[in-house]
Amino acid sequence: MNRILIYHKNYFFCILGLMLFIVTEGAGQSLTINGGSPTLTITTGIAGGQLIDVVNTGCSLRYSTPFWPWVNWKITVSTSCPDQNFSLSAIATNVTRGTAAPEVTLKNGSPAIDFVTGIFFAFNASCTLQYTASATFAQGHSGDVGNDVHSVTYTFQQQ
């Protein structure tokens, strides 16, 4: 279980950890997160400037499907982050089975978003999880607005 904590002090913020839940639909398929709790820290900012991005690719997702039924599977992603103040997005890279969706923005309370689709007969398939945290100088700091802690959920289901 990992957590993401976003800490933003004027122009400094970090995402500390990422709580990942893995949900499967039915039997025979599996999802496994490898890589521990990612930490993203933004240490620079420009007053009135553009978003500052920090990327973490330290986690991976390993997945397998059952051989029956003969259907396509997909992995969706969602987050829970009450009082979310800062931006967090995710994308699957280096996908060995299936097709990665474009980068998705994770927002508290949003429905699950397709993350990897078209997975057919995958055994020990994998992808790298790339998280991007963004903040502006004007968004304040965690002392004023609090830290963002994301609980990210990946769900495996028939397409």
With respect to residue 128, please indicate whether it lies within any of the assigned structural domains.
Answer: yes
CB 76 within 8 A of CB 92: no
Q: What is the pLDDT of residue 14?
A: 41
With respect to residue 90, please indicate whether it lies within any of the assigned structural domains.
Answer: yes
Q: Which of 117, 114, 78 is nearest to 97 (CA)?
A: 117
With respect to residue 94, please indicate whether it lies within any of the assigned structural domains.
Answer: yes
**pLDDT digits 0-9 by tens, 46-68:** 677 666 788 999 999 999 988 77
| DSSP secondary structure letter of residue 29 | -
With respect to residue 154, please indicate whether it lies within any of the assigned structural domains.
Answer: yes
Residue 53 corresponds to which tokens in the numbers above?
Answer: 């991005």
With respect to residue 145, please indicate whether it lies within any of the assigned structural domains.
Answer: no
With respect to residue 60, please indicate whether it lies within any of the assigned structural domains.
Answer: yes
Positive or negative torsion for Cα 116, 82, 22, 133 = positive
With respect to residue 89, please indicate whether it lies within any of the assigned structural domains.
Answer: yes
**pLDDT digits 0-9 by tens, 17-40:** 445 555 544 556 788 888 877 877
| DSSP secondary structure letter of residue 101 | P
**pLDDT digits 0-9 by tens, 85-144:** 888 999 999 999 999 999 999 999 999 999 999 999 889 999 999 999 888 777 766 667
If one counts the domains in the chain, the total is: 1
Parent domain of 133: 4-140+150-158
